């Protein structure tokens, strides 16, 4: 293999005699830059001596990879190995600048060594040293090339679907692929900037050459220039160098510089110099198409000084485009989701799954704020893993961030607490006690309505359990649902003879409306029939709810009643946003260990989460009943029961359910109606009729909201449901406090007790405990609502004090006015 003989100490006179001998028998040969003198694999025909100029020795390593291994300067020689051994030439020798050579053919070479035998000994020693050094350098170059090669044409995610509606309407990719000018693609994280760059490359004349994607944000300032240029100057980046960079590795192809604004300014200036230097055919300079991406527009990058002026001018003189986020191109969501499902199935060697109607609505209605297409890919890949049928449904879709959770207190950090949660005995005993108590209450109210035991059972329902349920939902979320006798009965029937059907799309679609109607119906029946004073009617209501839960449990798998249809569970979902207690998974454990998704799918002995949740994606407790089934099923013990500041989910969680927003509004309206009716019924005829009309009107209004949200989730326009949902939920503490204050009327003896303060001149204070309790409850609920509204407004207006204050005063005035009015009516 050729090697520069000047690189070692020569035997006295050996190299000089060889050069002079060759020059004496050969005429000078002029070689132009870029011309190949000998080709790898050809038979050797001459011994060459370099008179002037320089050449590179290049090895073809296959797979379109060429490794430069030596630089030959004046006085060096090559070609003797093939002449001496009869083997083919082992490398290409290419002139990197105008060069003059002297060539001794095979016959002349034989006569030279016959006349001077010492030349043969010199050449043998030279070849031994040359072979050792070349092998060492070749190994180093191959290692470096392999490191670069791992980045070539290796996209991190799914290839872009080329027939997306947004691409079909745009000619940018085709126009950009028509020439080699630089390209700048801007847009939010995950919108598909790199995918668009790959699409441009696939349409260009460079499609069959290398595509190299470099994450500029991962390059330190010290290594950025060396990684990009190797040891070459920006204006003279040749394909052969002692140390290669990304530009040499991408020779002939495309180099994608992701987050180009993260490069140091001096490296950006070097890139601008490289882009400004034209490539001439036949030269050894690399030919690379530059495509850059950034999160901000070119104008914003210039204003911030994030781009060097010369690089900004170079990119601005090429092709520039901005990729819109998914929330502004909703027509792309379904084609992209279906494409991702097919790609995921091909990668896993599984049949491709379809997209159910409920999943379609959820996907089209979500804004994908945590990564756009990247978040969509995460959602779809997880859904494909969770779905056991031929299509994914809404139950398999889990959105949200993948970052770390805010600080929380782990209530299971003690071994005894975790052991108790895993065993589930305490929860099992509580469920048994509650079920026995429920059955006893129903029997007493139904069989002994006139006896003290029947009246006492009825009092427990309306005077103790109902206010206690509201208070527990506001403080502990849906903890009651974990021991609710309705779900326990449904689960028992399901295990015994259940049909075990998967919830249909129709059930999940109609669930919010049915739960809303059910809640309004319960309130109307309760007030219209005077249920608080008629034990039999109370028993019939409880039996009706139990039968409905059992029927749904018999038909569908898991706790479909609790998840979709239970009116009390839906109310719990509204109030759960105020809770300080919820389930939270340790994301680092899930990322490192989870492969089976047992928290959702279950195990051989468990159906999985009864509420169709994935512990990792629980960002609030609206649809979690705190049963700890996920902890028991997870082999890695990732889910935890945590304590957090109350109300925090209201502004931290980005996945508050819009389906429950209508019920949140209805609860507030019903409480005002209850308070007004109770006051009006004292002196206004037909109070029951007006109450019935009011319930129907509120239910119709709530159903209209359900339909409006469903329609907007299927529309193609951008929407901001999150802001409206947060405001609606911010009123939940006040509505819950009013509902609790209203129910305190049914607590026996509370209204008959009072606090009094007298003086010689008369009474200074005469306040019943009922009024005191109602005032304190409403005051606490109002304070929670005002605090939540402030946080929601601050988040919405990004800390703008004037806008935040104006929004808070307006929204808070509505809350305070309703509280004062309702409290005056309750008295």
* Mean predicted confidence (pLDDT) in 544-550: 97
The average confidence (pLDDT) of the chain is 85
* Residue 69 confidence (pLDDT): 67
Rounded Cα distance, 460 and 747, in Å: 9
pLDDT more than 90, % of the chain: 47
* Mean predicted confidence (pLDDT) in 324-331: 88
* Residue 732 confidence (pLDDT): 95
- What are the helix (H) ranges across 500-640? 505-528, 535-555, 560, 567-575, 587-593, 598-601, 629-633
Among 193-202, 236-245, 254-263, 525-534, top mean pLDDT goes to 254-263
Range of the domain at 700: 658-826
Asked if residue 182 and residue 303 are part of one domain, the reply reads: yes
Asked if residue 335 and residue 278 are part of one domain, the reply reads: no
> Which residues make beta-bridge pairs with 212?
152, 255
Q: Check pLDDT > 80 for residue 130.
A: no
- Span 706-731, pLDDT tens digits: 888 877 665 544 445 678 889 999 99
* Residue 85 confidence (pLDDT): 76
* Residue 150 confidence (pLDDT): 46
Asked if residue 801 and residue 734 are part of one domain, the reply reads: yes
Asked if residue 611 and residue 468 are part of one domain, the reply reads: yes
- pLDDT, greater one: 459 or 79: 459
- Span 560-613, pLDDT tens digits: 999 999 999 999 999 999 999 999 998 888 888 898 999 999 998 898 999 999
Among 7-21, 72-86, 684-698, 711-725, top mean pLDDT goes to 72-86
> Which residues make beta-bridge pairs with 95?
55
Q: Which helix (H) or strand (E) covers residue 826, if one does?
A: helix 801-826
Residue 156 vs residues 160, 253, 538, 693: alpha-carbon distances, Å = 11, 19, 60, 59
CB atoms within 10 A of CB 726: 23
Rounded Cα distance, 484 and 431, in Å: 7
Give the CATH number of the domain where residue 366 resides: 1.10.8.60
pLDDT class for 485, splitting at 50, 70, 90?
very high
- Extended beta strands in 323-475, E state: 354-355, 391-392, 409-410
Tokens 């047992």 belong to 598
Under a CB-based contact definition with an 8 Å cutoff, are residues 203 and 173 in contact? Answer: yes
* Mean predicted confidence (pLDDT) in 66-73: 73
Pair of tokens at residue 513: 């409306």
Q: Within a domain: residue 153?
A: no
Give the CATH number of the domain where residue 114 resides: 2.60.120.10
pLDDT class for 7, splitting at 50, 70, 90?
very low
Q: Which of 277, 302, 324 is the last residue of a domain?
A: 324
Residue 593 vs residues 281, 379, 633, 635, 637: alpha-carbon distances, Å = 53, 19, 14, 9, 10
Q: Check pLDDT > 70 for residue 95.
A: yes
Dihedral sign computed on CA atoms, order 483, 484, 485, 490: negative
- pLDDT, greater one: 134 or 2: 134
Rounded Cα distance, 397 and 623, in Å: 14
- pLDDT, greater one: 763 or 439: 439
Asked if residue 169 and residue 97 are part of one domain, the reply reads: no
Q: Which of 627, 648, 669 is the last residue of a domain?
A: 648
Q: Within a domain: residue 154?
A: no
Give the CATH number of the domain where residue 252 resides: 3.40.50.300
Q: Within a domain: residue 402?
A: no
* Mean predicted confidence (pLDDT) in 244-263: 89
Asked if residue 486 and residue 359 are part of one domain, the reply reads: no
Asked if residue 540 and residue 446 are part of one domain, the reply reads: yes
Pair of tokens at residue 327: 């929330």
* Residue 89 confidence (pLDDT): 84
* Residue 5 confidence (pLDDT): 40
* Mean predicted confidence (pLDDT) in 15-33: 82
Domain count, the chain: 5
CB-count exposure of residue 689 (10 Å: 0-12, 13-18, 19+): exposed
Q: Which residues contact 105 (CB under 8 A, 6 or more apart)?
A: 45, 46
Q: Check pLDDT > 90 for residue 799.
A: no
* Mean predicted confidence (pLDDT) in 57-75: 71
* Mean predicted confidence (pLDDT) in 228-244: 76
65-72 vs 77-78, strand pairing mode? unpaired
* Residue 64 confidence (pLDDT): 55
- pLDDT, greater one: 43 or 153: 43
* Mean predicted confidence (pLDDT) in 441-461: 95
Asked if residue 334 and residue 319 are part of one domain, the reply reads: no
Q: Check pLDDT > 50 for residue 364.
A: yes
- Span 490-516, pLDDT tens digits: 999 999 999 999 888 889 889 999 999
Asked if residue 333 and residue 201 are part of one domain, the reply reads: no
Q: Within a domain: residue 155?
A: no
Rounded Cα distance, 313 and 307, in Å: 9
Q: Check pLDDT > 50 for residue 683.
A: no
46-52 vs 99-105, strand pairing mode? antiparallel
Q: Within a domain: residue 157?
A: no
Q: Within a domain: residue 159?
A: no
- Span 273-318, pLDDT tens digits: 999 888 776 667 888 999 999 999 999 999 999 999 999 999 999 9
What's this model's pTM, rounded to 2 decimal places? 0.75
Asked if residue 805 and residue 697 are part of one domain, the reply reads: yes
Q: Check pLDDT > 60 for residue 33.
A: yes
Asked if residue 311 and residue 174 are part of one domain, the reply reads: yes
* Residue 59 confidence (pLDDT): 76
* Mean predicted confidence (pLDDT) in 535-548: 96
- pLDDT, greater one: 135 or 373: 373
- Span 197-225, pLDDT tens digits: 988 998 999 988 888 889 898 888 778 88
- pLDDT, greater one: 139 or 611: 611
Rounded Cα distance, 203 and 326, in Å: 24
Q: ∠ CA(501), CA(506), CA(507), 5° rounding?
A: 60
* Residue 109 confidence (pLDDT): 80
Q: Check pLDDT > 90 for residue 766.
A: no
Asked if residue 320 and residue 332 are part of one domain, the reply reads: no
* Residue 798 confidence (pLDDT): 83
């Amino acid at each position: 293999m050729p090697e520069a003989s000047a690189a070692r100490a020569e035997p006295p006179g050996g190299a000089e005699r060889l050069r002079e001998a060759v020059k004496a028998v050969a005429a000078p040969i002029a070689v132009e830059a870029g011309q190949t003198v000998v080709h790898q694999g050809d038979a050797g025909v001459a011994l060459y001596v370099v008179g002037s100029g320089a050449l590179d020795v290049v090895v073809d390593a296959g797979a379109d990879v060429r490794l430069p291994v030596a630089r030959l300067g004046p006085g060096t020689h090559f070609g003797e190995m093939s002449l001496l051994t009869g083997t083919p030439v082992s490398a290409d020798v290419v002139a990197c600048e105008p060069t003059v050579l002297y060539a001794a053919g095979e016959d002349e070479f034989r006569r030279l060594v016959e006349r001077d035998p010492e030349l043969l000994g010199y050449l043998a020693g030279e070849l031994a040293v040359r072979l050792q050094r070349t092998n060492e350098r070749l190994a180093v170059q191959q290692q470096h090339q392999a490191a670069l090669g791992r980045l070539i044409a290796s996209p991190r995610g799914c290839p872009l679907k080329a027939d997306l509606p947004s691409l079909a309407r745009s000619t940018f990719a085709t126009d950009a692929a028509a020439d080699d000018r630089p390209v700048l693609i801007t847009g939010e994280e995950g919108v598909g900037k790199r995918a668009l760059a790959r699409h441009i490359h696939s349409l260009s004349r460079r499609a069959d050459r290398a595509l190299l994607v470099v994450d500029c944000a991962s390059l330190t300032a010290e290594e950025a220039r060396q990684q990009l240029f190797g040891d070459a100057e920006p204006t003279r980046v040749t394909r052969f160098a002692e140390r290669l960079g990304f530009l040499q590795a991408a020779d002939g192809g495309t180099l994608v510089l992701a987050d180009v604004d993260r490069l140091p300014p001096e490296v950006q200036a070097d890139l601008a110099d490289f882009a400004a230097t034209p490539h001439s055919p036949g030269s050894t300079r690399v030919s690379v198409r530059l495509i850059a991406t950034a999160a901000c527009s070119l104008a914003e990058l210039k204003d911030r000084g994030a781009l060097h002026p010369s690089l900004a001018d170079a990119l601005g003189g090429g092709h520039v485009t901005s990729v819109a986020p998914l929330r502004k191109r909703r027509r792309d969501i379904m084609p992209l989701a279906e494409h991702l499902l097919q790609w995921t199935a091909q990668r896993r060697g599984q049949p491709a799954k379809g997209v159910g109607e409920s999943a379609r609505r959820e996907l089209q209605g979500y804004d994908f704020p945590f990564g756009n297409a990247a978040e969509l890919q995460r959602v779809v890949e997880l859904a494909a893993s969770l779905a056991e049928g031929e299509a994914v449904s809404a139950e398999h879709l889990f959105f949200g961030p993948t970052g770390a959770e805010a600080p929380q207190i782990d209530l299971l950090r003690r071994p005894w607490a975790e052991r108790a949660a895993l065993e589930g005995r305490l929860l099992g005993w509580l469920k048994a006690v509650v079920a026995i108590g429920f059955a006893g209450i129903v029997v007493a109210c139904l069989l002994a309505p006139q006896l003290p035991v029947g009246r006492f059972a009825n009092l427990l329902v309306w005077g103790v359990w109902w206010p206690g349920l509201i208070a527990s939902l506001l403080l502990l979320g849906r903890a009651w649902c974990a021991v609710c006798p309705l779900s326990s009965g449904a689960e028992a029937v399901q295990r015994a003879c259940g049909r075990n059907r998967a919830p249909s799309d129709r059930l999940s679609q109609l669930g919010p409306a049915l739960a809303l109607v059910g809640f309004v119906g319960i309130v109307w029946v309760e007030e219209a029939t005077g249920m608080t004073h008629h034990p039999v009617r109370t028993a019939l209501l409880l039996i009706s709810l139990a039968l409905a839960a059992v029927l749904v449990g018999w038909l569908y798998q898991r706790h479909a009643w609790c998840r979709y249809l239970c009116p009390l569970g839906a109310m719990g979902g509204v109030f759960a946003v105020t809770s300080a207690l919820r389930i939270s998974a340790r994301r680092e454990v899930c990322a490192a260990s989870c492969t089976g998704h047992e928290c959702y799918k279950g195990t051989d002995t468990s159906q999985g989460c009864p509420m169709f949740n994935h512990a990792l994606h629980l960002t609030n407790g609206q649809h979690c009943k705190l049963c700890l089934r996920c902890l028991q099923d997870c082999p890695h013990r990732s889910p935890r029961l945590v304590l957090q500041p109350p109300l925090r989910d209201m502004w931290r969680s980005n996945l508050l359910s819009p389906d429950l927003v209508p019920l949140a509004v209805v609860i507030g309206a019903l409480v005002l109606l209850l308070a007004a009716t109770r006051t009006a019924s004292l002196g206004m005829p037909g109070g029951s009729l007006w109450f019935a009309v009011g319930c129907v009107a509120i239910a119709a209004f709530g159903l209209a909201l359900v339909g409006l949200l469903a329609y907007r989730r299927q529309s193609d326009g951008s929407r901001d449901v999150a802001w409206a949902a947060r405001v609606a939920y911010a009123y939940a503490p006040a509505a819950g406090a009013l509902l609790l204050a209203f129910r305190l009327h049914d607590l026996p003896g509370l209204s008959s007790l009072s606090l009094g303060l007298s003086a010689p001149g008369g009474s200074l204070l005469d306040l019943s405990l009922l009024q005191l309790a109602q005032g304190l409850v409403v005051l606490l609920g109002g304070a929670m609502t005002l605090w939540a509204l402030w946080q929601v407004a601050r988040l919405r207006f990004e800390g703008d004090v004037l806008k935040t204050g104006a929004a808070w005063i307006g929204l808070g005035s509505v809350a305070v006015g309703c509280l004062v009015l309702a409290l005056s009516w309750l008295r």
